[in-house]
Structure 1
Amino acid sequence: MSNGIRAGKKFDDEVLAERARNLATRNLNGIERVFVNLLPAAAPTDAWLDLEFHTTHILAAILTAIGGGTTPHSIFPVSGGVRLRGGAAAGQVRVVQVIAGAAPNQLRLQINPIGDYSTYTLAVNFAGIDPLLAEIDFKFRPACFNLNCAADESFSAPVATPYIDYLAKDFDSFKHTLITAMQQRVPDWLPTSEVDMDQVLIDLIAADADELSDYQDRTVNEAFLATARKRVSLARHARLMDYHIHQGNQASSWLAVQVQTAINIPARTGAWTSEHWQDKTSQAFITKKLLVSNPLLNALQLYNWGGSLTALDAGCTSADIALPAPLNPASETDANNLRDLVNSIRSRPFLIQQHLNPETGTALGKDPGARQILQLTGTAQTLFDPMGGVAGEWFVRIFWRDADRLARRYCFCTQCNTALPLYNVSLFHGNLVEISHGRPHRTIFRAPNTPLAVSTPYNFLYGDEAHIELTPCGAVAKLPHTSLAYLATEPDGVTPARTSLTVSVNGFATPWREQSDLIESTNDAQHFIVETDEYRSSYIRFGNGKNGRNLPVDTFITCDYQTGVGIDGNVGADTVIGFDDAALPQLIRIWNPFDITDGREPESVAEIIRRVPEAYRARQLRAVTLEDYALRAEQLKEVAHAHASYAWTGSWRTVRIAIDPFGTEILTEPVRKKIAAHLEAVRLIGEDLEIRPARYVPLDIYLKVCAHPDFWPEHLRRELELEFSNGYTADGRGGFFHPDNWTFGQPLFRSQLIGRALQVPGVGRVLLASIKRLHGESGASLSTITIPASAVDHPVVEQLIVRPFEIIQVANNPSKLETGRLNFEITGGRQ
Structure 2
Amino acid sequence: MTRLGNAERLEDRARDLDGKGLNAFRLAYVTLDAAPKPAFAWLDVEFWNANALAPLPPREAFKIQGATRQRSGNPARAVAVLQVLPGAGNTLRLQIAPVGDYSTYLLSTTSVGLGAPDNALPLAMDPLLNALPFKFRPGCFNLNCTPMEKGRPAPTEPEIDYLARDYDSFRHVLIAAMMRRVPGWSPSSEADLDQVLIDLVAADADEQADYHDRVMNERALATARKRVSLARHARLLDYHIHQGNQASTWLALEVAGMVDLPATGQDEFGVWSGRAWQDDDAVIFAMARDGGSWRQRCFAQLNRLRLYTWGKTVTALAAGSTEADLTAATPLTQTEAEALRDFFLGTHASQVPGPGAADVNTAVDQLLIQEALNPETGTANGRRIAQRQLLQLLPLHGPIARAEALQDPFTGEWLVRVRWRAEDALRQNFCFVCDCAGQPVEDVSLFHANLLRVTQGRPRITTFRAPGQPLGGADERSFVASDSVSYEIVLRQAGSASPPRGVLCPLPASPLAYRASAPGGETPTRTTAQVMVQGFAEPWQEQSDLIESQRDDQHFIVETDELGGSSLRFGDGSNGAALPMGAFVQCRYRVGQGSQGNVGADSLVGFVDASGAVQRVWNPFDVTNGRDPEPAAEIVRRVPEAYRQHQLRAVTLDDYARRAEELPGVAHARARYAWTGSWRCVQVAIDPAGGIVLAEPLRRALADHLDAVRLIGEDLEVGAARYVPLDIKLSLCAQPAYWPEDLRAALEEEFSGGWMRDGRHGFFHPDRWTFGQPLYASQLIGRALSVTGVGRVLRTSMRRWNPGSGGGLTEIDIDPLALPESRLEKIPVGPFEIIVVANDPDHLETGRIRFEITGGRR
TM-score range, shorter chain: 0.7 to 0.9
Deviations 1:234-284 (A, max 9, x none): 111111111111111111111111112222223942110012100111111
Residue number in structure 2 paired with 1:244 = 240
Deviation at 1:595, TM superposition (A): 1.3
Deviation at 1:526, TM superposition (A): 2.0
Residue number in structure 2 paired with 1:460 = 479
Deviations 1:220-240 (A, max 9, x none): 111111111111111111111
Deviation at 1:507, TM superposition (A): 6.6
Equivalent position amino acid for 2:410 in 1 = M
Is 1:300 the equivalent of 2:302?
A: no
SS at 2:231's partner residue? helix
Equivalents in 1 of 2:621, 2:220: separation in Å?
44
CA distance 1:711–1:332, change in 2 (3 Å): farther
CA distance 1:715–1:332, change in 2 (3 Å): farther
Residue number in structure 1 paired with 2:432 = 412
SS at 2:469's partner residue? coil
Equivalent position amino acid for 2:723 in 1 = Y
Deviation at 1:611, TM superposition (A): 0.9
Residue number in structure 2 paired with 1:118 = none
Is 1:689 the equivalent of 2:699?
A: no
Deviations 1:633-654 (A, max 9, x none): 1111132221111222333332
SS at 1:181's partner residue? helix
Deviation at 1:769, TM superposition (A): 3.7
Equivalents in 1 of 2:791, 2:275: separation in Å?
58
CA distance 1:213–1:365, change in 2 (3 Å): same
Deviation at 1:673, TM superposition (A): 3.0
Deviation at 1:340, TM superposition (A): 2.6
2:383 corresponds, among 326, 345, 366, to 366
Could you tell me whether the CA contact under 8 Å between 2:343 and 2:364 is conserved in 1? Answer: no
CA distance 1:347–1:614, change in 2 (3 Å): farther
CA distance 1:763–1:546, change in 2 (3 Å): farther
Is 1:603 the equivalent of 2:603?
A: no
Deviation at 1:750, TM superposition (A): 3.5
Deviations 1:95-152 (A, max 9, x none): xxxxxxxxxxxxxxxxxxxxxxxxxxxxxxxxxxxxxxxxxxxxxxxxx999xxxxxx
Equivalent position amino acid for 1:675 in 2 = L
Equivalents in 2 of 1:507, 1:427: separation in Å?
51
Equivalent position amino acid for 1:295 in 2 = A
Deviations 1:420-441 (A, max 9, x none): 3111222222122222111111
Residue number in structure 2 paired with 1:126 = none
Equivalent position amino acid for 1:489 in 2 = S
CA distance 1:704–1:370, change in 2 (3 Å): farther
Residue number in structure 2 paired with 1:801 = 828
Is 1:629 the equivalent of 2:633?
A: no
Equivalents in 2 of 1:566, 1:274: separation in Å?
19
Equivalents in 2 of 1:384, 1:789: separation in Å?
65
Alignment length, in residue pairs?
678
Residue number in structure 2 paired with 1:54 = none
- 1:163-178 matches, within 5 Å, as 163-178=159-174
- 1:562-711 matches, within 5 Å, as 562-581=590-609, 583-704=610-731
Is 1:183 the equivalent of 2:179?
A: yes
Residue number in structure 2 paired with 1:332 = 334
Deviation at 1:680, TM superposition (A): 2.6
Residue number in structure 2 paired with 1:558 = 586
Greater displacement, 395-404 / 726-735 = 726-735
Question: What TM-score do the two structures reach when normalised by structure 2?
Answer: 0.73
2:423 corresponds, among 384, 397, 403, to 403
Deviations 1:578-636 (A, max 9, x none): 1014x141112111111111111111111111111111221122222211111111111
Deviation at 1:690, TM superposition (A): 2.0
Gap regions ≥5 residues in structure 2: 1-6, 13-137, 141-150, 289-293, 347-361, 396-401, 491-499
Could you tell me whether the CA contact under 8 Å between 2:344 and 2:365 is conserved in 1? Answer: no
CA distance 1:704–1:380, change in 2 (3 Å): farther
Equivalent position amino acid for 2:325 in 1 = D
Equivalents in 1 of 2:736, 2:378: separation in Å?
36
Residue number in structure 1 paired with 2:273 = 273
% identical aligned pairs: 55
SS at 2:726's partner residue? strand
Residue number in structure 2 paired with 1:446 = 465
Could you tell me whether the CA contact under 8 Å between 2:550 and 2:574 is conserved in 1? Answer: yes
Equivalent position amino acid for 1:380 in 2 = A
Could you tell me whether the CA contact under 8 Å between 1:507 and 1:558 is conserved in 2? Answer: no
Could you tell me whether the CA contact under 8 Å between 1:235 and 1:245 is conserved in 2? Answer: yes
Is 1:311 the equivalent of 2:339?
A: no
- 1:37-56 matches, within 5 Å, as none
Is 1:262 the equivalent of 2:279?
A: no
Could you tell me whether the CA contact under 8 Å between 2:306 and 2:329 is conserved in 1? Answer: no
Deviation at 1:717, TM superposition (A): 5.3
- 1:91-490 matches, within 5 Å, as 162-266=158-262, 268-288=268-288, 289-321=294-326, 323-325=327-329, 328-329=331-332, 331-344=333-346, 348-377=365-394, 379-388=402-411, 392-417=412-437, 420-471=439-490, 472-490=500-518
Equivalents in 1 of 2:223, 2:274: separation in Å?
44
Deviation at 1:486, TM superposition (A): 1.1
Equivalents in 2 of 1:578, 1:790: separation in Å?
74
CA distance 1:212–1:807, change in 2 (3 Å): same
Deviation at 1:553, TM superposition (A): 2.7
Equivalents in 1 of 2:809, 2:850: separation in Å?
16
Equivalents in 2 of 1:386, 1:759: separation in Å?
51
Deviations 1:272-330 (A, max 9, x none): 00121001111111123422222222222222222222222222222222x2135x43x
Residue number in structure 1 paired with 2:18 = none
Deviation at 1:824, TM superposition (A): 4.2
Greater displacement, 444-453 / 627-636 = 444-453
The CA RMSD measured in Å over matched residues stands at: 3.2
Deviations 1:142-166 (A, max 9, x none): xx999xxxxxxxx999986643333
- 1:676-755 matches, within 5 Å, as 676-704=703-731, 720-729=747-756, 734-755=761-782
CA distance 1:428–1:617, change in 2 (3 Å): same
Equivalent position amino acid for 2:365 in 1 = R
Equivalent position amino acid for 1:616 in 2 = Y
CA distance 1:760–1:650, change in 2 (3 Å): same
CA distance 1:713–1:528, change in 2 (3 Å): farther
CA distance 1:189–1:316, change in 2 (3 Å): same
CA distance 1:375–1:548, change in 2 (3 Å): same
Gap regions ≥5 residues in structure 1: 1-79, 86-143, 147-154
CA distance 1:156–1:726, change in 2 (3 Å): closer
Deviation at 1:697, TM superposition (A): 1.4
SS at 2:505's partner residue? strand
SS at 2:595's partner residue? helix
CA distance 1:737–1:584, change in 2 (3 Å): farther
Equivalents in 2 of 1:560, 1:374: separation in Å?
33
Equivalents in 2 of 1:422, 1:395: separation in Å?
20
Deviation at 1:800, TM superposition (A): 2.5
Deviation at 1:500, TM superposition (A): 1.4
Residue number in structure 2 paired with 1:521 = 549
SS at 2:257's partner residue? coil
SS at 1:229's partner residue? coil
Deviation at 1:335, TM superposition (A): 1.8
CA distance 1:685–1:224, change in 2 (3 Å): same
- Over alpha carbons, which structure has the higher Rg? 2
Equivalents in 2 of 1:178, 1:286: separation in Å?
61
Deviation at 1:714, TM superposition (A): 6.1
